[in-house]
Amino acid sequence: MKNIKDILPNNRVLTSPEELFCYSYDASSMEGLPSAVVKPASTEEVSKVVSYAFEKKAPLIPRGAGTGMTAGSVPVDKAIVLSLEGMNRILDIDERNLVVTVEPGVINAHLQGKLESMGLFYPPDPASMDFCTLGGNVAENAGGPRALKYGVTRDYVMGLEVVLPSGKTITTGVKTHKGVVGYDLTRLIVGSEGTLAVITKIFLKVLPLPEEVITLLCTFQGIEQAAMAVPKITASKIIPRTLEFMDNEAIKAVEAYKPFGLPSDAEALLLIEVDGARSSINIEAQRVADICLSLGAKIKVADDVYSRRKLWEARRAVSPALYRISPTKINEDIVVPRSKIPEMLNALRKIGEKYNLKIVNFGHAGDGNIHVNIMTDKNRSDEYQKAKDSVRDVFEATLKFGGTISGEHGVGLAKAKYIGMELSPLSIDIMKSIKRVFDPNNIMNPGKIFL
């Protein structure tokens, strides 16, 4: 049988310890060394690598940019990492049908920029958009601030080309705006975290770029008022395109990381954006502002591109900035009905007190999606253990309020032991049976999602 080095040119098969180390971790705090990293440049090359792994029964880990938060692309069992970063071409932008075809290694923001220059719009905008790949977005069904109005990655994926664990290639879905022939394999693969197939092409729906955007920075002296503003805004029949939340710790961490001019004395802030036709959004922005004012907020309007960009840069800096508070963070991305946000934030405060841990919260409040960051230090074993124990309390509270334990980061390795808290044994069995149909040798990202 061939050696992996016979499949791809030598410079695209990495085996030195330094190179392997670079592919041993993602944005979670988990790690594991691969046995090799391969970098195919085409679907045919992906298929050859997968066929090799299938024959050898060797575990294979598809990987985009490694920005995942749940160790989805972290190798287990000395697996081979299949890096899609080199397959990064935008293959087609069909302006008449508003369909785009891309390879999986395209960076999200590169597509956004290209489309915007043509007056087009791809809404899914994870905060990692400057460095994560569209393949990783599809595999995780990534969301982002604009999910509130525009939905998540799944809502834009019309079809896929994928290499199955046998090495065979299929195309799922359609390039038309309707299509109901057979089971919806596209939806099954979106969010499957690299456990069913390798995504090699993506057909995406795009939209016309909204005419105008207004961004409001609303700061509150009480966290409850900020939390209460969220359901009040949506109850007023306005769906802003973003409704982002940061608590005081998150604001202070960002300002210490890089001074963006956020008010460090505010207990919480909401970053709210409305978009649409010029004629209507002034009215919407005013109504949103009135609601926040009635709850005691101070409001700043970012009315030019520069100040708007600066605010979003500040928002995207939260995650890295938190490492200023402590060297390790356990990041959960729970979702509750938005009307339950005040109660959930209160429950999180109590969990922090119970375990004597700092918990910093920010996130996509409009979706009820709170990024709960339990701040700790991996090297202080007692404290780290307490932090890990507190995760179960966070999930219990989330489920009690009718929520879900992950809104966008997926399960990966990090949450595998918790899925039974949310899913019934029968649902898990059905999912595992589907996995066996796709992947009888269990080579595709084994150990992820299911224990």
Q: Which of 248, 319, 376, 406 binds ligand FAD (CB under 6 A)?
A: 319
242 binds ligand FAD per the rule CB under 6 A:
no
Residue 239's closest CA among 280, 178, 208?
280
CA distance 251 to 220: 12
CB of 137 to ligand FAD, least distance (A): 4
Residue 174 near residue 160 (C-beta atoms within 8 A): no
CB of 279 to ligand FAD, least distance (A): 31
CB of 6 to ligand FAD, least distance (A): 23
Q: Mark residues 185-214: x for contact with ligand FAD by CB under 6 A, - for none.
A: --------xx---xx---------------
Residues 65-84, interacting with ligand FAD (CB under 6 A): 65-69, 72-73, 84
CB of 265 to ligand FAD, least distance (A): 25
**Which residue is associated with the tokens 């800096």?**
317
Residues 124-143, interacting with ligand FAD (CB under 6 A): 126-128, 132-133, 135-137, 139-140, 142-143
Residues 6 or more apart in contact with residue 69 via CB below 8 angstroms: 26, 27, 28, 331, 333, 409, 410, 412, 414
Q: Mark residues 261-300: x for contact with ligand FAD by CB under 6 A, - for none.
A: ----------------------------------------
CA distance 61 to 46: 12
Q: Mark residues 18-47: x for contact with ligand FAD by CB under 6 A, - for none.
A: --------xx--------------------
| CA distances, 340 to each of 84, 373, 379, 397 (Å) | 39, 19, 35, 11
CB of 238 to ligand FAD, least distance (A): 22
CA distance 270 to 315: 10
Residue 210's closest CA among 126, 279, 120, 99?
120
| CA distances, 304 to each of 105, 135, 309 (Å) | 32, 32, 9
Judged by beta carbon, residue 199 or residue 206, the one nearer ligand FAD is: 199
Judged by beta carbon, residue 79 or residue 291, the one nearer ligand FAD is: 79
Please give the helix or strand (H or E) that residue 149 lies within, else none. helix 147-150
Q: Which of 34, 40, 59, 64 binds ligand FAD (CB under 6 A)?
A: 64
Residue 198's closest CA among 173, 155, 167?
167
367 binds ligand FAD per the rule CB under 6 A:
no
Question: Which one of the spans 5-13, 58-66, 174-182, 349-357 is the region binding ligand FAD (CB under 6 A)?
Answer: 58-66
CB of 198 to ligand FAD, least distance (A): 5
Please give the helix or strand (H or E) that residue 387 lies within, else none. helix 381-400
Judged by beta carbon, residue 128 or residue 186, the one nearer ligand FAD is: 128
Kindly state the number of chain residues that form the binding site for ligand FAD, as judged by CB under 6 A: 37
CA distance 421 to 256: 37
CA distance 325 to 214: 32
Q: Residue 380 carries which DSSP code?
A: S
**Which residue is associated with the tokens 């299938």?**
54
CB of 151 to ligand FAD, least distance (A): 12
Q: Which of 88, 242, 326, 445 binds ligand FAD (CB under 6 A)?
A: 445
144 binds ligand FAD per the rule CB under 6 A:
yes
Q: Which of 48, 201, 409, 435 binds ligand FAD (CB under 6 A)?
A: 409
Please give the helix or strand (H or E) that residue 282 lies within, else none. helix 278-294
Please give the helix or strand (H or E) that residue 372 lies within, else none. strand 369-376
Phi/psi at 13 (5° precision): -125, 110
CA distance 430 to 436: 10
CA distance 13 to 408: 31
CB of 340 to ligand FAD, least distance (A): 21
Judged by beta carbon, residue 201 or residue 252, the one nearer ligand FAD is: 201
CB of 250 to ligand FAD, least distance (A): 13
CB of 362 to ligand FAD, least distance (A): 10
Pairing of strands 369-376, 358-364: antiparallel
Judged by beta carbon, residue 99 or residue 162, the one nearer ligand FAD is: 162
For residue 204, list its beta bridge partners: 100, 157
CB of 144 to ligand FAD, least distance (A): 5
CA distance 449 to 55: 24
373 binds ligand FAD per the rule CB under 6 A:
no
Binding residues for ligand FAD (CB under 6 A): 26-27, 61-69, 72-73, 84, 104, 126-128, 132-133, 135-137, 139-140, 142-144, 193-194, 198-199, 319, 408-409, 445, 448
